[in-house]
Amino acid sequence: MTDARLGVTVTHRRYVPYSHAHYAGNLVDGAYALGLFGDVATEVCIHTDGDEGLFAGYADVRFHAPIHAGDVVQVTARVTRVGTRSRTLELECAVVCRGRPDRSASAAEVLDPPIVAVTATGTVVVPAASVSREE
């Protein structure tokens, strides 16, 4: 029997404010994406278990491309494994819009296809009280 929580997917989009630029060229530090992964993982836990859950750890974090202030990022989490109290998530942060200061101070464009900036595998845990008796 397949667990209905497998494949549950949650997506958030967020504008990256210039106040988060950390390096020259308006680059944002890699931890910014990890924070967004925590937000989307929380919503996954709410959908699957009725609890915010806790992020237990990351595996295989990969930084593929930079994130800049002024970008719009799309962060997605998909449940790939369901344990008794743990859930494994496939995580992706992609840049879907990017500022174009070479055109004008406020110019931007939609990226088609989006640029995958960060990927990871994450594990979340939920309290025993919120775990279904069917497990």
Is 63 a member of any domain?
A: yes
Average pLDDT, consecutive stretches of 10 residues, N- to C-terminus, the chain (135 residues): 91 96 92 96 96 95 96 98 95 96 92 98 87 48
Task: Assess if residue 40 is contained within a domain.
Answer: yes
In 3D, which of 70, 58, 28 has the Cα closest to residue 123? 58
> Could you tell me which residues are beta bridge partners of residue 125?
54, 86
pLDDT of residue 118: 98
Which pLDDT does position 129 carry in this prediction? 66
- In the prediction, which pLDDT does 101 show? 87
Q: Is residue 131 part of a domain?
A: no
- Please indicate, yes or no, if residue 28 is contained in any of the structural domains: yes
Q: What are phi and psi of 61, to 5 degrees?
A: -75, 130
In order of 35, 41, 65, 110, 124, the CA distances from 79 in angstroms are 18, 9, 24, 28, 10
Question: Which amino acid would we find at residue 69?
Answer: A
pLDDT reported for residue 130: 65
In a domain, residue 133? The reply is no
Q: How is residue 44 annotated by DSSP?
A: H
Q: Which run of H or E residues covers position 31?
A: helix 31-49
- Is 135 a member of any domain? no
> The dihedral of CA 28, 32, 33, 39: what is its sign?
negative
Report the CATH number at residue 58.
3.10.129.10
Q: Classify residue 134: in a domain, yes or no.
A: no
* Number of domains composing the chain: 1
Q: Which domain holds residue 68?
A: 9-126
Q: Is residue 1 part of a domain?
A: no
